[in-house]
């Protein structure tokens, strides 16, 4: 056998495992196999080099705002027994007890809300105003969701959906009556939009509200089983009031979907007359939320309970609205969903950070196999394959963190003119980031091996808890179709006006098409100009391809709606291209805002990794020729080099995520001690 062959090397390694030292020539030794030294845990902070950059500064970039407030709220949760502190080894961790029954999880969710309410966490959540109050609310929501998704969703439904609907659709008398009461939980709200037969298609809702001019009331009915309100968070047990989305019939004319506020339970928790409520039952996650189903049987609501900022019905039955176009009225009714999508995207980033912080810390202390016959076992994160599993996901998460901060800033500064842009960005980022989070959690679960299956280690259980993000407040695939459809409308309008593109970062469409060099060196591949040129080239070409395909189908006799449906493949490519280019541009802007130095250098590595992993994973770059085969191969090799360059910074980057140790898990620290026999006394 060739002593230099791979087979010979593998044989030597195996022999080294079995024969520690040389066996006597007579073969009579009874100790051919010697016991290996026991493994011991060493904190990665001791073995890794000190951070090359200021981790607090990177946290300020990634969190974006309210650092002190976040840390205060994290400590507040750590200090209460309601948040299930558990001792593992020399550390205490907080996480929900998922071994509890559904009923117990729901009960403790409400007790946690009472605790946070008593400590002033929700102050100003419905009555506050101004950018600082809104950004603090976003920050606190992210912290709460880092602990428990059920707790976050229960609060999100009450404050952002129910309360947001009253803020947006209501007028002064609604605000005066409900907002302060809601902020103090004197009443608790739910958001009755989704029906058994209609989710994403809100325009098709079947619940009917008929105006009775003689009584000055609306009569709400569930006309068929498919019209029952479904998945209504808070409805099964706790909600006292609902905002109800319903078709509005006035004098025999259907005026489309409108919104009403109504009491569905009395102060003692009894369901109101003419309302029926049932429980949706046990779910694969979010069992701390009491999702319910609601039917209405000639349920009467005072005329004043129509949330009437968009439209009103006068006492004599006349329908009035400052918005004459029914499509524009309907679009205005979807505004509360934008805040929900902002929250979903921002919280999804935080959960990706939790999974990656756990998996990276574990990979910096867990060893497996050796590279030589008698050599030490190798850290998981020193394997190139393991690096490529986790480090590109870290880069994507950092880029998406910048993007969601941008989205929050855009939302709090919203104007009627910016609502369209907000809808496009919210839809694109919510879909892309929540898909990314599910991929991160799956990869981190596998990267932690069997330990990833243990509930106390968080990563596995978070998959079930956050899976719902892909479909609630908009199915991700439908949202991306809406993005491409809205972008097509922008493209067609700009060409009809013969005016330049403006907004949504589409100004690059006004410039000459950038030239992509054929010789892609490492320096070129890592250039932010090259990366942005590449992403912009893809986006502008897909605009043309998508518009031309829709036009071709229309020329063949298809309706515009059918033509758009038939062009779904290019629609998906365009939506992805727009989203990835937007995220890259935002991340570059954050990088450029930093002074020259180590932090900017690391952000440059993360930005290059984000751009090139998108190029490697995005089939459209090769499919439509934006990258040649050689160019794609060069990008793929550069990803490997970037993994090597980012490896020394891995611990520092995940330490910059701002997740307190108590909100991670035992395998992120001394996993040997946490699993020792003596630790059983702590359970």
Q: Where are the alpha helices (DSSP H) in 223-334?
A: 326-333
Q: Which residues touch 484 (CB under 8 Å, ≥6 apart)?
A: 546, 570, 571, 572, 574, 575, 578
Considering only CA atoms, give the Rg of the chain.
28
Active-site residue, selected from the candidate residues 443, 473, 616, 638: 473
Annotated binding-site residue? 450: no
User: 568-592 and 384-412 helices cross at what angle (nearest 10)?
Assistant: 90
For residue 645, CA distances in Å to 62, 73, 387, 489, 604 come to: 20, 35, 11, 42, 11
Half-sphere exposure of 490 (CA within 13 A, CB side): 22
Name the 3-class secondary structure at 487: helix
What are the b/e assignments for 535-573, b being 16+ CB within 10 Å?
bbbbbbbbbebbbebbeebeeeebeeeebbebbeebbbb
Q: Which two tokens stand for residue 636?
A: 């793929």
Q: Return the structure tokens found at 602.
A: 């690391």
- Residue 370's alpha-carbon distances to 9, 35, 367, in angstroms, are 12, 16, 9
Q: What is the dihedral of CA 263, 267, 268, 274, to 10 degrees?
A: -20
CB atoms within 10 A of CB 409: 14
Three-state secondary structure along 366-414? CEEEECCCCCCEEEHHHCHHHHHHHHHHHHHHHHHHHHHHHHHHHHHCC
Flag whether 194 is marked binding. yes
Exposure string of 151-185, with b = 16+ CB inside 10 Å and e = fewer, is bbbbbbbbbbbbbbbbbbbbeeebeebbbebbbeb
> What 3-state class would DSSP assign to 66?
coil
Q: Report which of 624, 494, 510, 625 is spatially closest to residue 547, judged by C-alpha positions.
A: 494
Distances in Å between the alpha carbon of 113 and those of 121, 193, 280, 510? 9, 24, 22, 51
> Does the annotation mark 507 as catalytic?
no
Annotated binding site for FAD: 194, 233
Annotated binding site: 194, 233
> What residues are labeled active site?
473
């Amino acid at each position: 056998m060739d002593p230099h062959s791979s087979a010979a090397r593998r044989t030597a390694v195996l022999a080294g495992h079995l024969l520690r030292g040389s066996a006597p020539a007579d073969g009579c030794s009874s100790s051919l196999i010697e016991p290996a030294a026991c493994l011991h845990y060493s904190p990665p902070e001791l073995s890794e080099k000190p951070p090359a950059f200021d981790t607090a500064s990177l946290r300020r970039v990634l969190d974006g705002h309210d650092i002190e407030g976040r840390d205060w709220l994290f400590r507040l949760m750590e200090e209460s027994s309601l948040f299930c502190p558990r001792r593992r080894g020399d550390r205490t961790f907080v996480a929900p007890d998922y071994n509890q029954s559904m009923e117990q999880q729901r009960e403790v969710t409400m007790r946690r809300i009472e605790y946070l309410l008593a400590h002033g966490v929700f102050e100003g959540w419905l009555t506050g105003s101004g950018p600082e109050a809104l950004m603090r609310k976003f920050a606190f929501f992210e912290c709460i969701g880092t602990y428990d998704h059920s707790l976050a969703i229960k609060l999100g439904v009450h404050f952002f959906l129910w309360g947001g609907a009253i803020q947006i659709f209501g007028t002064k008398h609604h605000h005066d009556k409900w907002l302060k009461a809601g902020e103090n939980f004197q009443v608790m709200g739910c958001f009755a939009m989704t029906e058994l037969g209609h989710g994403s298609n809100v325009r098709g809702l079947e619940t009917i509200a008929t105006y009775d001019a003689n009584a000055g009331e609306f009569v709400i009915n569930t006309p068929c089983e498919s019209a029952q309100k479904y998945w209504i968070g808070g409805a099964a047990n706790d909600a006292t009031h609902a905002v109800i989305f319903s078709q509005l019939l006035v004098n025999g004319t259907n005026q489309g979907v409108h919104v009403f506020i109504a009491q569905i339970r009395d102060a003692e928790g009894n369901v109101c007359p003419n309302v029926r409520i049932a429980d949706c039952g046990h779910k694969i996650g979010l069992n701390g939320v009491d999702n319910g189903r609601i039917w209405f049987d000639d349920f009467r609501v005072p005329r004043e309970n129509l949330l009437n900022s968009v439209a009103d019905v006068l006492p004599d039955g006349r329908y009035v609205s400052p918005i004459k176009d029914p499509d524009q009225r309907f679009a205005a009714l979807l505004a509360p969903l934008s805040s929900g999508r902002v929250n979903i995207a921002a919280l999804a980033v935080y959960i990706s950070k939790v999974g990656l912080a756990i998996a990276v810390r574990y990979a910096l202390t867990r060893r497996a196999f050796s590279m030589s016959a008698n050599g030490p076992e190798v850290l998981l994160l020193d394997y190139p394959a393991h690096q490529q599993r986790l480090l590109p996901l870290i880069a994507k998460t950092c880029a998406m963190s910048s993007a969601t901060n941008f989205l929050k800033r855009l939302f709090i500064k919203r104007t009627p003119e910016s609502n369209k842009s907000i809808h496009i960005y919210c839809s694109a980022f919510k879909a892309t980031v929540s898909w990314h989070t599910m991929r991160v959690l799956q990869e981190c679960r596998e990267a932690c091996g069997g330990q990833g299956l243990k509930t106390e280690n968080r990563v596995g259980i978070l998959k079930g808890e956050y899976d719902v993000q892909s479909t609630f407040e908009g199915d991700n695939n439908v949202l991306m179709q809406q993005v491409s459809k809205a972008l097509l409308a922008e493209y067609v309008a700009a060409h009809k006006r013969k005016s330049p593109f403006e907004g949504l970062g589409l100004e690059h469409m006004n410039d000459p098409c950038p030239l992509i060099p054929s010789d892609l060196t490492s320096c070129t591949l890592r250039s932010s100009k090259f990366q942005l040129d590449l992403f912009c080239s893809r986006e502008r070409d897909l605009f043309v391809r998508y518009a031309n395909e829709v036009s071709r189908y229309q020329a063949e006799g298809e309706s515009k709606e059918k033509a758009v449906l038939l062009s779904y493949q290019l629609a998906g490519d365009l939506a992805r291209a727009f989203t990835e280019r937007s995220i890259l541009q935002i991340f570059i802007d954050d990088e450029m805002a930093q002074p020259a130095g180590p932090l900017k250098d690391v952000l440059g590595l993360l930005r290059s990794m984000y751009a090139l992993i998108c190029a490697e994973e995005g089939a459209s770059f090769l499919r439509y020729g934006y990258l040649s085969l050689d160019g794609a191969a060069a990008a793929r090799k550069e990803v490997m080099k970037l993994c090597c360059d980012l490896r020394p910074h891995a611990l520092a980057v995940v330490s910059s995520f701002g997740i307190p140790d108590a909100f991670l898990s035992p395998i992120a620290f001394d996993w040997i001690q946490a699993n020792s026999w003596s630790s059983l006394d702590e359970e």
